[in-house]
Amino acid sequence: MSVSFTVQGHVATIALNRPEAMNAIDPETRAELKQAWKRVREDDDIRVAILTGAGERSFCTGADLKKTMPPKETFAELTFGRSESDHLLAGMETDKPLICAINGYAMGGGLELALACDIRIASENAQFALPEVRIGSMPGAGGTQRLPRAIGMSNAMLLLLTGDRIDAQEALRVGLVSKVVASSDLLSTAQAIAGRIAANAPLSVRAIKRLVSRGMDMPLDAAIDHERFAFGLLRDTEDRIEGRRAFQEKRAPQYKGR
């Protein structure tokens, strides 16, 4: 298996499992990753997912150029002729939070996978780059759009136009990652964050992610209107009542996602 998938305590852990190839994405990995995202979306028992890579050298170095040949179909056939996309990020669209635990290199498509997640933490040996411009190409899986949103225009343009590599501390400084931890603590740190999120009311968590993701591209007044509407929807849920009762009774809430 090129992708491992485990679930424990409402948290799914998805690991790219090709350490011998720096966890590069070949066609088999791409297909398995797409199935993993499908399971995350459809399994109501899963509330949070962690994406990481096997080993300590590399999270993901993007496409495996040794095994990935240019498609035979035209771009029009790929865009309009298929019922489902085989894009690198296909299937990652979900209201469930995604945490990326970056162990080592996150290059090209690997960094774009990380950027598609909601929270990014890195090991001390992590390195990041979108080097496509150096080989006459460009990021094609959201890099030119998500990176400026994550770290600001100037920092993003510096990385995108030079193809330069940055280390974990620089990634922390510019806001690309939220935490930098020792390699030995990376997965446990991600699991601890995921556990705290999974303990919260699932509908509230998903509503917040959707509001933040969509609201960033809205005028502020329209985004606040959406926030008020979502607040009203959540007001009458069973979980909201349970949260108040648990607080009054000084116990941990038992949320059911309804």
pLDDT of the residue at 71: 65
Closest CA to 43 of 4, 94, 83: 94
- CB neighbourhood size of 172 (10 A): 18
CA 111, CA 146: separation in Å to the nearest integer?
A: 10
pLDDT of the residue at 83: 56
- CB neighbourhood size of 4 (10 A): 14
Q: What is the CA radius of gyration of the chain?
A: 19
Domains plus CATH for the chain?
3-198 (3.90.226.10), 202-249 (1.10.12)
Sign of CA dihedral 210, 115, 121, 68: positive
pLDDT tens figures, 133-168: 998 999 989 999 999 999 999 999 999 999 999 999
pLDDT tier, 70 (very low <50, low <70, confident <90, very high otherwise) = low
pLDDT of the residue at 84: 61
pLDDT tier, 76 (very low <50, low <70, confident <90, very high otherwise) = confident
Q: What is the mean pLDDT of residues 244-254?
A: 90
pLDDT of the residue at 134: 92
Q: Hey, what long-range contacts does 246-251 have (CB within 8 A, 24 or more apart)?
A: none
pLDDT tier, 229 (very low <50, low <70, confident <90, very high otherwise) = very high
Instruction: At 217, give phi and psi (nearest 5°).
Output: -105, 10
The residues assigned a catalytic role are 112, 132
pTM summary value: 0.90
Q: Cβ distance 105 to 57 under 8 Å? A: yes
Of 10-14, 48-52, 179-183, 230-234, the range with the lowest mean pLDDT is 230-234
pLDDT of the residue at 219: 94
Q: Which residue has the tokens 């962690």?
A: 50
pLDDT tier, 74 (very low <50, low <70, confident <90, very high otherwise) = confident
Query: Could you tell me which residues come within 8 angstroms of residue 194 by beta carbon, excluding any fewer than 6 positions away?
Result: 11, 48, 49, 50, 97, 99
- CB neighbourhood size of 233 (10 A): 11
pLDDT tier, 218 (very low <50, low <70, confident <90, very high otherwise) = very high
CA 243, CA 16: separation in Å to the nearest integer?
A: 36
pLDDT tens figures, 12-68: 999 999 999 999 999 999 999 999 999 999 999 999 999 999 998 999 998 876 656
pLDDT tens figures, 91-102: 999 999 999 999
